[in-house]
Structure 1
Amino acid sequence: MNVGDKAPELLGKNEKGEDIFLSSYKGKKVVLYFYPKDNTSGCTAQACSLRDSYDDLRKAGYEVIGVSVDDEKSHQKFIEKHALPFTLIADTEKKLVEQFGVWAEKKMYGRSYMGTLRTTFILNEEGVIERIITPKEVSTKEHAQQIL
């Protein structure tokens, strides 16, 4: 997915097993952020940055939706543990990460594996991608400020 592309209507199931549709956010800008894993240091810092500035993001017209390939139960624990005020999509079948092109080969400690590239897509009120914050650009501790 690139700037100017329309995001898909069905985003996936959230932590409660409910289908999340883009049309539910019509008239709002959407921060759709993809992250590797619940309860890891970088992902927690990023989620907490968005949580701590959630009111400012909402005042600026944004809704926040997180996406990882973790399951609903993992998302529920992550939300509970860190008091996250936004929904998390459980992309266990990797449909959304593949659609957005953020499921890719990664390397750590000389080992290659498939994983989610930490990427944020800013969608306008019509669900069109307006801006992409790439893996190299994302600052986990100041992510909300990068968006604002």
Structure 2
Amino acid sequence: MNANLATEPLAVGAAAPAVQATDQDGNEVDLAEVFRNATVLFYFYPKADTPGCTKESCGLRDAYRKFIDHGVRVFGVSMDTAAAQKQFVEKYHLPFTLLADPEGKIVEAFGVAKRNGHASRQSFLIRNGKISWHTAKVNPETHAEEVLREIERQSS
């Protein structure tokens, strides 16, 4: 399959994929367990420590307390290695988990398009194991505010 082929992201209402992942510390993460009975922001970004991805991740970091106050867990995913994710977390003091997906298993499970060997920038909100919101048009500068508005909308 062509790595740049367009793909369909999971639709709102679909079950979140129950795949195994590796975090920035090399620990295995069971996504079925993460998504069960929880609200999770799952954001995909092209490459750790690049300008847009840094701006997006630092915006989420700066708004992290608000996510926690809403009971939302945050996970970032890129096709970087665990070592690259760890450097990114440490350099920018990111308080949330980054998942390493060098083989693109998570990217494919969510139907996120790949461009030039990188995941496209997309976000999903997952509530109790189901996709409750998705955007494929992420602005790195305003992403945190957009997601928080959606969380508040879903909570009202």
* TM superposition score normalised by structure 1: 0.87
Between the aligned residues of both structures, percent identity stands at 38
Rate the CA distance shift 1:11–1:58 in 2: closer, same or farther, 3 A: farther
Moved more, 92-101 or 33-42: 92-101
Q: Distance in 2 between matches of 1:25 and 1:89?
A: 14
1:116 positional shift:
1.2
Gaps of 5+ in 1: 107-112
Contact 1:35 1:66 in 2 (8 A): yes
Rate the CA distance shift 1:11–1:56 in 2: closer, same or farther, 3 A: farther
Offset from partner CA, 1:96-137 (integer Å, 9 cap, x none):
111112133x4xxxxxx343110001001x110000011xx2
Contact 2:16 2:35 in 1 (8 A): no
Partner of 1:129: 131
Partner of 1:55: 65
1:26 positional shift:
3.2
The code of the aligned residue for 1:115 comes to H
Rate the CA distance shift 1:62–1:27 in 2: closer, same or farther, 3 A: same
For the aligned residue pairs, the C-alpha RMSD in angstroms reads: 1.3
Aligned residues: 138
* TM superposition score normalised by structure 2: 0.83
Contact 1:49 1:143 in 2 (8 A): yes
Offset from partner CA, 1:8-37 (integer Å, 9 cap, x none):
223411011111123145332100000000
Secondary structure at 1:121's aligned position in 2? Answer: strand
Contact 1:15 1:87 in 2 (8 A): yes
1:5 positional shift:
0.9
Partner of 1:118: 121
Indicate whether 1:93 and 2:103 are aligned.
yes
Query: Which of 7, 23, 43 is the equivalent residue of 1:14?
Result: 23
Whichever structure has more strand as a proportion of its residues is 1
Query: Which of 46, 52, 55 is the equivalent residue of 1:45?
Result: 55
Contact 2:12 2:134 in 1 (8 A): yes
The code of the aligned residue for 1:145 comes to E
